[in-house]
Chain A
Amino acid sequence: MIRWLARLRDIDRRWLYLATAVALAVPFVARGRIAMPPTEPFMVTRRLFDAIEACPPDKVVLIDSSWNMGSQAENEAQLECVVRHLCRRRVRFVVISVGVTELGPEFARQVIEPIAAEAGRQYGTDWVNLGYVQAGGDIKVLIEALCRDLHAVRPTDVHDTPVAQLPLMRSVRSINDAHLLFSVTYSPTADWISLVKGQFGTPVAFGCMTIMSPYYHTFIESGQLSGMLVGNWGAAEYERLTQARGKGTERIAFATYGNCAILAAILLGNLGLWAARRTRGRTR
């Protein structure tokens, strides 16, 4: 028995891949019958929700949507739930993609347009997509310029319409016209915190991949970040707060099955290691 257990240590990794894939395939088959576990939303998610709820009517939310297929797995659900909330609360928002990926505006458009159309929000008056801005040598230069004069940094929107012709942009010139900056990307740059929050005093919130979240928790503790969505879990919690069901809830519920497979693999691997050590002890 012990020798058989010791063989668990040497399972071919391809079996583990297959087991994970099978575990993740289960929820796709049983779709619709899987619910989000009822948990109290994490403090960082609630803070972002509260920040958007507190947005005054004369201000906008500036969204830096700088993600593409590389981080679509988590950033898509984050942008979706925040935009849905903004549309429901009738908060106006400006979307821009700063420095990370040229495909940012297109991916943002695919998420925002259906939600805005469903909520009856008009492009140009309720929301604007300013497109991509290249960072060049240093993203700090770009962020500072953007905070001072959005029109100078991005004279036209993503459709080549001069920003001065867009009704929403007539009341939005600098970061002082924004209530909150929400940066959603794989790993938002800390320069948003130091410049937007530190220098100009506008609150900043992030939507990041789960892998990057431990780094940003220190900024939550110090009050430099006004909220954060951590991967699909953050998006699912936000959907719970807004009483909507979207990609975040679905993906995190499905991921539970994969996580169970990983936990089982860790347990089996450790059992194999323990058994191998015992076998070695006996043969000595």
Chain B
Amino acid sequence: MTEALRTLAESLTPENLAALVSAAATLIVFSYLVKDNPLYRLALQAALGAAVGIGVFIAWRDVLRPKWWQPIQGAFAAGRPPADPFQLLEAVTAGRVACPKWWAAALAAFPESRPWTDALWLLALVPGSLWYFQLSKKWFWLSTLITGLFIGVSAGLAFKSQILLILPQIGASLKPIVPFAGPGGLTWASTLDCLNHLLFLVGMMTTLLYFFFSLRTESRFLRGSMRIGRLMIMATLGAMFASTVMTRMAYLLERLGFLCDKWLAPR
């Protein structure tokens, strides 16, 4: 009995224990396929809790600590008297440092002031804490200052990003449909290419037409085109559905592979 317990204890290495917990969690989640049950909900809550916990830890370790806390800490640990801000201003006004990049240049002119200036990161607390005023009905308006700033920046960047994304798409939609107009003249390859482009054009035009709800649809040609557009959309949705099935299958396979290779029969 003692021997068996000892063997069991020896086999419980951190790797084996992790595989055991993972396998149990996988089987609990799979149990939902039979019926909803408390164990499944427990696993769900545990996963959510762990994800939030890891997220907070990594955000501190990789972002806040190296980029915010450590510079501030360094500034106060340096033990130097803070550089005179008036001295800095004097240097700027005397023209010893050039504008408009005066701030960076001023800092470079006073390297000894660097640790002190790192303490300025404390000021980031002010705009950062404005987000939390969303929790107060009375002071909610304060949070709109920071939200407005973020929306403004995001909108500007989104505009640029969309132009850079969409314009090449419009350009790429203009494809040749005359097979003998190319530099090589009429060939099998150019004919097939043009047929492909024609199919693309029909697909694009009819799909766009399908979404023109303000058009009167008495015309037989228009109705037929819209029907083709609908068929194109259905074919696309079919492809997307097949992609969904493939992805879900991959999920299941990955878990089955884990259960077989790392839990039941570790290699």
Q: How far is the CA of A238 from the CA of B111 in the complex (A)?
A: 52
Interface membership of B121, Cβ < 8 A: no
User: Which candidate, A3-11, A53-61, A112-120, A250-258, is the interface stretch facing chain B?
Assistant: A250-258
Binary CB contact string for chain B from 160 to 175 against chain A (1 if under 8 A, 0 otherwise)? 1111110011011000
CB atoms of A255 and B165 under 8 A apart? no
Query: Cβ of B246: which chain A residues have Cβ within 8 Å of it?
Result: 210-211, 231-233, 255, 259
* Contact between A138 and B157, CB atoms less than 8 A apart: yes
Inter-chain contact A137/B153, CB cutoff 8 Å: yes
Assess the B54–A73 pair: CB atoms within 8 A: no
A199 in the interface, Cβ–Cβ < 8 Å?
yes
> Can you list, as one digit per residue, whether each of A12-48 has a CB less than 8 Å from chain B (1) or not (0)?
0010010011001100100000000000000000000
Within the complex, the shortest CB–CB distance from B84 to chain A, in Å, comes to 28
Residue of A nearest to B151 (CB): A137
Measured between beta carbons, the chain A residues less than 8 angstroms from B16 are none
Which residues of chain A have C-beta atoms less than 8 A from B73's C-beta? none
> Among the listed B34, B163, B169, which residue makes an inter-chain contact with A218, where contact means beta carbons less than 8 Å apart?
B169
A134 within 8 A of B: yes
Cα of A132 to Cα of B57 in the assembled complex, Å: 12
| B250/A231 in contact, CB under 8 A | yes
A138 touches B236 (CB 8 A): no
Count of chain A residues with a beta carbon within 8 Å of a chain B beta carbon? 53
1/0 per residue, CB under 8 A from A, across B132-173: the answer is: 000000000000000000100110011011111100110110
Q: Could you say which of A14, A133, A211, A254 contacts B243, with CB atoms under 8 Å apart?
A: A211
Residue numbers in B under 8 Å from A155 (CB-CB)? 66-67
Least distance between A249 CB and chain B CB atoms (Å): 13
Q: Is A262 located at the chain interface by the 8 A CB criterion?
A: yes
Closest chain B residue to A209, Cβ basis: B247
B260 contacts A28, C-beta separation under 8 Å = yes
- Give the distance in Å from the alpha carbon of A222 to the alpha carbon of B174 in the complex: 10
In the complex, how many angstroms separate the beta carbon of A282 from the nearest chain B beta carbon?
31
Whether, in the assembled complex, B253 has its beta carbon less than 8 Å from a beta carbon of chain A, the answer is: yes
Q: Are A138 and B250 in contact (CB under 8 A)?
A: no
Contact (A73, B59) CB under 8 Å given A28-B260, A194-B165, A214-B240: no
Do B58 and A195 have beta carbons less than 8 Å apart? no
Q: Is the CB of B161 within 8 A of A17?
A: no
Q: Contacts A14-B33, A140-B154, A198-B168 given: A251-B253 contact, CB under 8 Å?
A: yes
| A74 vs B249: C-alpha distance when bound (angstroms) | 10
Least Cβ–Cβ distance between A31 and chain B, in angstroms = 9
Flag if B169 contacts A262 (CB, 8 Å): no
Chain B residues near A219 (CB, 8 Å)? 169
Bound CA span A72–B153, Å = 33
For residue A212, which residues in chain B have a CB less than 8 angstroms away from its CB?
A: 243
A156: interface (CB < 8 Å): yes
The answer to whether B62 touches A132 (Cβ under 8 A) is yes
Cβ-defined contact, B62 with A134, below 8 A: yes
Known: A141-B153, A198-B165. A251 touches B252 (CB 8 A): no
A-B interface, 3 closest residue pairs, ranked by CB to CB distance from nearest: A198-B164, A222-B172, A102-B58
